Structure 1
Amino acid sequence: MNLALVHDWLNQLGGAEDVLSALNRMFPRAPIFTSIYDRQRMPAAWRTWDIRSTWMDRLPGVHRRHQPYMPVFAWVWAHRRIPAEHDVILSNKSAFCIAAQGLHPDVRHICYCLTPTRFVYDFHAYANKERIPPGASAILRALNHYLRRWETRVAQRVTAFIAISREVQQRIRRHYGRESVIIYPPVEMPAGLPQIQDQGFYLIVSRLLPYKRIDLAIEAFGKLGLPLIIAGDGRDRPRLERLTARQGGSNIKLLGRIDDATLHRLLTACRAFIFPGVEDFGIAPIRAMAYGKPVIAYAGGGALDYVADGVTGTLFYPQTTDALVEAVLRHSGVTFAPVEIRRHAERFGVERFERELSEFLRGLGVAIED
């Protein structure tokens, strides 16, 4: 069968794009259908891929801030048809590309579901996290009822769902009334366990966005006085820099975007990885675990699938500064086994993802052309 890949938008790099990279390696001949594609912000190597976007690329500011255009994305995907030569659609979905359809009714749609659309099913939290202006928020909220009914309806056309975590599996059941299997996202593993180091600092590697709750870590480490390094960039960076300055800031460093060599050095040398937000899954913490490093994570979302308290890291609850402070102090009294942490991380490697996805597709009778 001839497969088409579908991805909501390509204007930022994150876990969804890691999955897309793995899918492209598995199916290099499959075109990638998306809504917008910012060639300048995405990896240069992707320019050799067959990426097919839409007229939405011409909308003002859509590549920098796509959130106010959410109803437009829904409309575009509701009316987009994948060319007739494709027998199978494999969507890598966090939003409205779940509506992608073929030109004939026999096309199978397998949805690798990163999450039911947060904009639709948890609008209040989404609007707060993304800081949508009040005027735009009021208009979008008025449309939300119709979008929710529409997405629930189009979800019934999907042939089969794959969830990325237990949390997402529960959301699929709750919002769509559909069952799913879990295939964890692919995480690139370093070759073998790197030489163990502990230079005493704690590490965050993340896009700097409000919902990542990096502000909790800055406040907690401001109280603790322990060294914290934050690598990554994003629109929340100015606010986080101001917060760091108010905390005294000498023990907290925001490095901005870093290259792979620097990331390797930081993961090798850190004491533990800090993960204070709620994620559908969370690839960055598992990368840290692949280096034998424990993770201090909020006890919610995808972290519950891989952070075993006292074994691969430390969980904290509730999602407050004081709870994170207490978790860091409790964590310092535990001796972790790097080899055991690495072994646990290997459950989430790329080869495992490719094997499980291929087996799942074959189980549906889907034989994909190489």
Structure 2
Amino acid sequence: MPDQAAGSTRAPALPSAVLTHHWLVRRRGGEKVLEALARLVPGAPIYTLVYDAIGMGLSERGARAADPLAGRAVHTSWLQRIPGARRHYPRLMPLMASAARRMRLPPVELVLCSDAAVAKAMTADARSRVVCYCHSPPRYAYDAAICAEYRAALPWAARPVWDWAIPRLRDADRRAAQRVDQFVANSAHVAERIRRWYGRDSVLVHPPVELPSQPVHQVGGSGGGARGDHYLCVGYHAPYKRLDLAIEACLRLGRRLVVIGEGPGIPSPERRGEWAQRGIEFRGWCSDEEIRAAYACARGLLFCGEEDFGIVPVEAIAHGCPVVAYGVGGATETVQPGVSGVWFDRQEVSSVVAAMEQLEAIRFDAERMFESARAFSLERFLEKMQRVLAV
């Protein structure tokens, strides 16, 4: 590149990009999307409110060389210095908007933001283009039921602070949304929220899902043969995920249920011990390999909450595991009735039971299920996001 003439007023070229994400404490759906976004901006540093290297598998001993997030600089907010922040970050919600605004991003061409909270509020240089992949506007700020769940998890003394902070956080979030140059919605359901709560249009790009190389046919349980007699629930079990419906439906039908994951929706140890005698098994967090094996031998996945998108159902479908899903939100874009699962229309035990009985009467075709999941491949995601970034 030729040297610029002396006295030129042309601004110096900016470094390429930074990544931002609300918090990095464990690999769930949003973090898997961040992995994919990271492939588009090799080496870009990450800015996040709270970071747990061990929980993310990015410690010196835990990181994998092929991990798209490995080896990157990670910058955190002042919340990181609060004792217990990595474990109890949901209790810090009232402080997050302020903490995000105080994070000043370096001058770069592109700020690629992955957000379901306040990452878009981080202060970007005026010359930077901000592209926000929105998993959802923060539901704890706009959805009364979700807000009540977070509030109920707080100590009594902290609840007045929450009540004071949430309207201010909502206002700050709306202001931050107006500074985004391009929104990308992860589902049509979220695109409608972005229109309703932010007054902004968005481009629809579904999240990527890691697919097996070929259709997964019935591999059977530990004894082989047909699929096992058990159902699955997989993920971070917040109360709105309605794990309680899955448990009660399985108890009513006398079906086994394997619950993978943790979260505030997990019942007490006493209840878990009681239900273990009735076929309800809690395994905690499992590796990706263990989860894939669980999909491959389960009768079906129970997905009882209203989700923004829901990567877990697509993972299950790709591995030949049909889905019983609440027919609202993202599940309507991923679960095809009669092809890859069934929907139920009310968040009631009787509605889930009826859907399970319907699913058990259908013979699902692994080839058709796999083909339906291919619409959410990593390759398609990267291709669509590259087109967004090229505009």
Q: TM-score, normalised by structure 2?
A: 0.87
Aligned-pair RMSD on alpha carbons?
1.9
AA of the residue aligned to 1:51: V
Instruction: Look up the match of 2:357.
Output: 329
* Equivalent pair of 2:251/2:278 in contact (CA under 8 Å): no
SS at match of 1:102: coil
1:40 to 33, 54, 62: 54
Whole-angstrom CA distance in 1 between matches of 2:146 and 2:362: 35
> Of the two, which has the highest radius of gyration?
2
Deviations 1:1-56 (A, max 9, x none): 61111011112321111011112223221111111111222213255222111222
SS at match of 1:292: coil
Instruction: Look up the match of 1:108.
Output: 129
Whole-angstrom CA distance in 2 between matches of 1:289 and 1:2: 37
* Equivalent pair of 2:77/2:100 in contact (CA under 8 Å): no
Query: Does 2:299 correspond to 1:271?
Result: yes
Deviations 1:317-348 (A, max 9, x none): 21111211111112212222221111010100
* Equivalent pair of 1:219/1:247 in contact (CA under 8 Å): no
SS at match of 1:57: helix
**How many angstroms does 1:144 deviate by?**
1.9
1:113-132 to structure 2, matched below 5 A, reads 113-128=134-149, 131-132=153-154
2:85 to 18, 40, 62: 62
Query: Does 2:181 correspond to 1:159?
Result: yes
**How many angstroms does 1:243 deviate by?**
3.8
Q: 1:115 to 1:356 in 2, by over 3 A?
A: same
Whole-angstrom CA distance in 2 between matches of 1:242 and 1:276: 23
Instruction: Look up the match of 2:260.
Output: 231
Query: Does 2:96 correspond to 1:73?
Result: yes
Query: Does 2:171 correspond to 1:143?
Result: no
Percent identity over paired residues: 35
Deviations 1:270-316 (A, max 9, x none): 11111111221111111111112211011122111111222221111
Whole-angstrom CA distance in 2 between matches of 1:317 and 1:246: 30
Instruction: Look up the match of 2:45.
Output: 31
Query: Does 2:206 correspond to 1:177?
Result: no
Instruction: Look up the match of 1:252.
Output: 280
Stretches of structure 2 that go unaligned for 5 or more consecutive residues are 1-14, 64-68, 220-226
Instruction: Look up the match of 1:10.
Output: 24
Stretches of structure 1 that go unaligned for 5 or more consecutive residues are 365-370
* Equivalent pair of 2:40/2:386 in contact (CA under 8 Å): no
Whole-angstrom CA distance in 2 between matches of 1:337 and 1:195: 8
**How many angstroms does 1:246 deviate by?**
4.6
Whole-angstrom CA distance in 1 between matches of 2:276 and 2:230: 17
1:310 to 338, 346, 349: 338
Deviations 1:197-219 (A, max 9, x none): 31222112222332221111111
* Equivalent pair of 1:94/1:116 in contact (CA under 8 Å): yes
**How many angstroms does 1:235 deviate by?**
4.2
Q: 1:262 to 1:150 in 2, by over 3 A?
A: closer
Q: 1:124 to 1:193 in 2, by over 3 A?
A: closer
AA of the residue aligned to 1:344: S
Whole-angstrom CA distance in 1 between matches of 2:364 and 2:45: 44
Instruction: Look up the match of 2:33.
Output: 19
Whole-angstrom CA distance in 1 between matches of 2:234 and 2:149: 22
SS at match of 1:237: coil
**How many angstroms does 1:60 deviate by?**
2.2
Query: Does 2:239 correspond to 1:216?
Result: no
* Equivalent pair of 1:165/1:182 in contact (CA under 8 Å): yes
**How many angstroms does 1:259 deviate by?**
2.5
- Structure 1 residues 69-78 or 39-48, which shifts more? 39-48
* Equivalent pair of 1:215/1:243 in contact (CA under 8 Å): no
**How many angstroms does 1:244 deviate by?**
4.5
Deviations 1:230-251 (A, max 9, x none): 1223344342x54454557432
Instruction: Look up the match of 1:94.
Output: 116
1:187 to 202, 206, 209: 209
AA of the residue aligned to 1:108: R
Deviations 1:157-182 (A, max 9, x none): 11010000111101000000001111
Q: 1:247 to 1:317 in 2, by over 3 A?
A: farther
Whole-angstrom CA distance in 2 between matches of 1:231 and 1:80: 35
AA of the residue aligned to 2:230: F
Query: Larger relative contact order (C-alpha < 8 A, sep ≥ 6)?
Result: 1
Whole-angstrom CA distance in 1 between matches of 2:145 and 2:306: 15
